[in-house]
Chains A and B, each alone.
Chain A
Amino acid sequence: MTMNWLFSMRLAFVLLVLLSVWFALGVSMSEQDAYRQVLRSLNDLPMSQWMQSLVNAPIVASWLAGLFGLMFLLGLNTALCSWRDLLPTWRHKRWRSPRIMMLPIHILTLLVFIFHGVDLVFIHGHDSVVLHQGERFNSGRYQIELVKVDYRNDASQITEDEKGFSPAGRITRRSVEVFDPRINNAYFKVSNGEQTVSGHAGFLRPFNWDDLYITVTDFRVPYQQQAKGVQVKVLAVHNPLINYFFICYCLLLLSLLLQGLVFWRRSIKKGGRKC
């Protein structure tokens, strides 16, 4: 039996439609609170521990199984189609072919798929802690100390009441007039046992050393702890893949722009855009 259908664009079309429908189902599923909570719990767990959350949510489990199945088929179809239909353009060095950028676009899309998959299965190494000045914690092979908090906005705006609410509200809802992320910093000292480095991190401005990213996700003054000063919520992330991930994404973007350029030049040559 011929397996040509596995290589075909028709299968790609069907899979793309099915995946779109699947994501649309995902959007409507996430509108319901019970399912949203299950999905949210998956964000903080490696894939090996998903069963704990999914055992009581068969609909979410079925949706995820369908999603992975469709993604696998689309990945396979992309790889086979690239090998049979797109690789010959490069193998025969047809550099002037309008299809020249198709292979990099498809391969980079596949790589992005793969990085998403690896990220999903293996990379969930992050620690979230709250620290006052002078406190420290361990994250993986790193010891991280909060040396100083340099908070320049009005701290009374982030001082919480007994219910945990502050006048400025959640960090993502704060006005730049009461909280400007560009002027508020936390100064960290990080050691891996052999070397020690130090640097600033703030909200949306992480401090990076090797595979470690330290991000401040909140500045706050807890109820009745004004004497201790501003407390910082810190996220330490270990993700050795992240640079490769974004390099692939940027190369994909570049390939698409080059494809646009190739098409535009070709349309000029054909007389489509003569002025």
Chain B
Amino acid sequence: MSAFFKLLFRNRLAAMGAVVLSAILLLVLITPILPLNDPDVTATADRFKRPFSEGHLLGTDHLGRDLLSRLLHGTRLSLAIGIAAALIAATIGSAIGIIAGYFGGRTDNIIMRGVDMLMAFPYILLALAIVAALGPGLMNALIAVAAVNVPFFARNIRGITVGLAGREFIDAARLAGMGHSRIILTELLPNVLPVIVIAMSTTVGWMILETAGLSFLGLGSQPPQADLGSMLGEARSAMISHPHTSIVPGIMIFLIVMSINLLGDGVRDALDPRLRSGALSRPRATTLVERVGDTPAATDDLLAIQDLETQFHVGQRVYRAVGGVSLAVKPGECLGVIGESGSGKSVTALSVMGLVASPPGVITGGAVRFQGEDLIGAPYESLRRKRGDRVAYIFQDPLSTLHPLYRIGQQLAEAIKSHHKVSNAEARERAIQLLNDVRIPNAEARVDNYPHEMSGGMRQRIGIAMALANAPDVIIADEPTTALDVTVQAQILTLLDDLRRDRGLAIIFITHDFGVVAQLCDRVAVMYAGRIVEEGPTQVVLDAPAHPYTKRLIACVPELGGGRRELDAIPGLPPVVDDLPAGCAFAPRCDKAQDTCRAGTIALAGPSSRAVRCLYPEEAI
């Protein structure tokens, strides 16, 4: 709770809203004890007095009533009615939404049909119809405003509830023997409540506006009682001759609604966990570069990653996702990068072409050289020209990485047309050719499909075709088969292997699977906590792993044909990269670790093609 308020008031606008709103609330709460004139006493002799006149700070209205007094009493009424309407609508609407969303099926269907009917009205028609039937009056306006907002809450909360009801913890609660009402009250409600609060805080202002609106039309509060809306409505006829009678209540409504909106946005941001981590910021076109230190000198590799350091800056924390990685590929070579989640393997891959989402990603050191030219810190246009043309990517999840609304032919053609001037017909011809290259049957027809019309394996073939579109020199494949079934994985791996042999492609293949690395890659680099701990020719590393981590990782993964057995588990957890220990990051989990392992940085050392970052390696290299 205190964390919530801290977050809320860190937002300066929300704090401002809170201050204004509390001031207004305080003022209207003490209104009855303030030495004010009676708001309803008329004095026609004093009509239309200007603001700051004797005895009437804000002047008087067309019947000579004190405007300040009427304003405060009116504000009191408007706020009370608006908040009451919001509470009523939220309670009834949320109850309906939770019941519909939780029980689903027929209950849901019937309730939501009714809600849809109500939402088929422009809201004011419904409100007007209700007021027409019940007659003008403040309470009837309240009922009307609450009623038209019930469907809004019901639909909103139902959506959230459906999502939650499908979550596994609800299943778990049922298996723990809980009944429906207990699940709704103890499992669902605590999770829905923040959403209800958000929905309320963002609509209270709106409901105050609506009740004021009905009063403005003369359908809400009836004379002599006045809320802000009816004050404005009564002042309208004298608007041109005596504008202050309109401006005073108008500005009050504006202040109330604006402060509630500011506060409501703050509440939403503070309660919505997605916004909390700053996740809703837009990734820039290229990763931010803030390099310190020297740029390593050029080499003659096709693509060389040199001492790369990429960090994530989240609030005060710095996650060292990649802490000085060097890798290089030659034409026709396949390099495997293997590691667990959080080892920095994907971030390394994405850093190459500046595709790490920024914020929060920042490249803080090192270089990436393509044919000797440094890509990090290169101007956007020069980087863009190489993206997909010289260095192409294949990503993990083929459903989310293809644009859902473009035909695959369009997406392939676009990859070509972003780099080469070709006609539409030519690009389409090329797209069909590419589909044939990745062995998609019936390419002429498939080129006009949308991604959702294809299976996962087919979509990943499209991903590969897109990477091949401009005959690049290097392909970076970031776990391209992890989301696929094992039979499909075998097909995709074979395809990649054939393509690289036929075309002399260099591939950097990111994976967590030793079996895949063994089948596809010439060389392999093993990553742990943002660093390479071992590298060498695949066969050598797999047969005689030198780093204890590599050795134990291989041992703890069951392999087909190994039979039933006890697995040699690695104790403990991989470290979090915002708080790395000094020395070897694996030392806390390693049974060979000595004090020297924890003392200082350990270098990656070894003969030309083989290296290990360990003081006490398993094998001499």
A and B form one complex: no
